[in-house]
Amino acid sequence: MRTNAWLSNTNIVLVLITAFLICTSYTKAQSAKAVGEAVLSALQQQQAVARLTRYEVKPEYLDQFKKAITDYVLYAIGIESNIMAEAYYERENPSILWIIERWGSIEEWMKVKSNTQSQAVSRLAEMALQKPIKSVPVKDLDPLSKQQWRKTANAADSQLTIMLFVDARAGTQQRFKDVYHIAMPQFRSEPGVITYQLSQLEEDDTQFVTYEKFRSNAAFQYHLNFPPIQPVIDYLNSSIKKQPFQTGLHNLIEFSPLIRQ
């Protein structure tokens, strides 16, 4: 009886050890997969292209130009390598239009620039603009995924989109990035925030732009009074080249693609 009991206990121990080893191997495999996916995602983000393009359009061409941009945006978001593409006009000056877009790589973005929709915008721009096109390449900090960029407002929302250009004093850039790095997860977790992204201009590392999309003006007001924003406000009030910082604020009205949940 003792021998049988010993054998039984031994078998139980062996089963437990085997189960442990299987679970450990599975966990390691899952961890390796997760690490691989994280590395791939990081590489893709390093290759991603983010571009803001500004058009100041003559009044008589405004409707025609918005139609051409709408056609381009709708085409762009249907391409797998597109991360996001949206078009806006400025509330204070509706003749100023913006295309905001992100692509998986520079090669994919260049391919799209030769398509019919993009060429239509370029041809129309030759006669329709008051000032030359302004193209602003940026690098996203703490970048969003494609799925996060494609998050949209609800049909019942009164979407508010803010773009803030920040011209930092030389030597304070890293402090600005550090302040935002701490605050960003909290900003993105606010119930009224749809999208929140900080980017650095590629051509001048003292210049930044925030892209902030809220479900309503009430959500924006909540954000302005949200305690984690105070270190950001303190920086803006003390460490940029020209005050007040609100002069860099652009209130944007989306006209394409206007997708709502």
Containing 76, the helix (H) or strand (E) segment is: helix 62-76
- The pLDDT, as a whole number, for residue 47 is 83
What number of other Cβ atoms are within 10 A of residue 200's Cβ?
20
Q: φ, ψ for residue 97 (rounded to 5)?
A: -115, 150
The chain-wide mean pLDDT, for the chain, equals 88
Q: Is the pLDDT of residue 41 over 80?
A: no
Q: Give yes or no for residue 180 having a pLDDT over 60.
A: yes
pLDDT at 58 over 90: yes
Cβ atoms 223, 187 nearer than 8 A: yes
Is there a contact between 108 and 50 (Cβ–Cβ < 8 Å)? no
- How many other CB atoms are there within 10 angstroms of residue 132's CB atom? 10
> Does the pLDDT value for residue 98 go beyond 80?
yes
Cβ atoms 250, 82 nearer than 8 A: no
CATH number of the 48-256 domain: 3.30.70.100
Model pLDDT, residue 18: 43
Q: What is the DSSP letter of 143?
A: P
Tokens of 261: 């949940």
- Range list of β-strands (E), the chain: 49-56, 82-90, 96-103, 134-141, 160-167, 193-201, 207-214, 249-256
| pLDDT score, position 45 | 53
